[in-house]
Amino acid sequence: MLKKLKRIVLIGFVMAVSVSQAAITPNPSAPSIAAKAYILQDFASGRVLAESNSTERLPPASITKLMTAYVVSHELAAGNIALDDDVLISEKAWRMVGSRSFIEVNTKVPVEILLRGMIIQSGNDAAVALAEHIAGSEETFAQMMNQYAQKLGMFDTNYRNTTGLPDPDHYTTAKDIAILSAAVIRDFPDHYKWYAEKEFTYNGITQHNRNKLLWRDTTVDGLKTGHTEEAGYCLAASAVRSDMRLISVVLGTRSENARAQETQKLFNYGFRFFETHDLYQAQTKVVDTKVWKGATRQIELGLAKPLAVTVPRGRYKDLVASTNIQQPLVAPIEAGSQLGQVELRLDDDVIAQESLIALHTVEQGSWWHRLIDSILLLIWG
């Protein structure tokens, strides 16, 4: 028998305020951005605030190294390598063209130095050395990169190397880079701090981070630049203002200054016209509801992960929250079972929607209790 859905308006969260639609000033559209593709996204809620051609497959240049670093961080977390491990530098790594960390062939360099050199200096030689140390070859490491891309939901991405040097089968999208950027920040905060470093010195050579926004905007704390003739000038960046973090990706701009200027436009627009609020924490009660034939008569429902919403600035009070809960709920019910949804609306738009799960297990009640509830269910349908 199909389970009925019951709609419940959540009490005590936010009450809809009667506002004349004519009195509400809509947000202005995003500024014009001179890039082949771009996206602006809130980190906490995931809401996209501006985008153009965000799913177009394009060469990412050295932004590729975000995934190279992400895989290295996973290997460190798994204990397969350590930051102080010495990496023997191969001739292939030493001969890499493009941006370099100036590591010497047949020398040994710690993983941490290589990782920071790749992140801050964009060293192609460091990227290849790390790949060979972890996977034996750059080609095998690229397969690992693609596996992590699939796990993260980057379905329009394919990596052929660790550096972003041109290859017709090496591509990604602005949307996928935003997904990866969020994962780098969320999953490895201790390593993310390196993306904010303005310079790095190795082998007596000091090189500056190519992300100009680190000097121009104190709220910017990463992520990665990229440039090839084919890709143009690219930048994935993140900034935090008043506890609100935004992620921006611009691909295919005309110059170093242009990628910084276009990113700054996006950040100024997003922070000026939107605000983000944390609504529910993971594994905390959102609502409780009746359970039939159970050892207890109520069950608490909540979310598996935190829920935040991003809304036009000044409109938070106009949000309306409601739940759809499967009915009837009949014991036994396992903790973690999906039993409905919570939905946030602003006017006619669904702002967020997440599954409600059982926060604890409810066992079957006594035979007498089950009998009474069976009769009541039969009577009440």
**Residues that are catalytic:** 62, 65, 122
Residues 6+ apart with CB under 8 A from 204: none
Which H/E stretch holds residue 371?
Answer: helix 367-380
Q: Is 128 helix (H, G, I), strand (E, B) or coil?
A: helix
Query: Do the beta carbons of residue 67 and residue 148 sit within 8 Å?
Result: yes
Q: Tell me which DSSP letter residue 53 carries.
A: S
Q: Tell me which DSSP letter residue 238 carries.
A: E
**DSSP per position, 280-341:** E-TTSEEEEEE-BSBSSSEEEEE-SS-EEEEEETT-GGG-EEEEEEEES-BS-B-TT-EEEE
Query: Do the beta carbons of residue 177 and residue 66 sit within 8 Å?
Result: yes
Residues 6+ apart with CB under 8 A from 18: none
Cα(40)–Cα(49) distance, integer angstroms: 5
Token pair of 182, please?
Answer: 């969020």
Cα(145)–Cα(62) distance, integer angstroms: 14
List Cβ<8 Å contacts ≥24 apart for 81-86. 81/111, 81/133, 81/134, 82/111, 83/110, 83/111, 83/112, 83/115, 84/110, 84/111, 84/112, 85/110, 85/111, 85/133, 86/110
The backbone region for 183, taken as left when phi is positive above 0, alpha when psi lies in -120 to 50, beta otherwise, is alpha
Query: Do the beta carbons of residue 242 and residue 270 sit within 8 Å?
Result: no
Tell the burial category of 370 from Cβ atoms under 10 Å away from its Cβ (0-12, 13-18, 19+).
middle
> Tokens 């276009």 belong to which residue?
262
Q: Could you give the angle at which helices 124-135 and 111-120 cross, rounded to 10 degrees?
A: 140
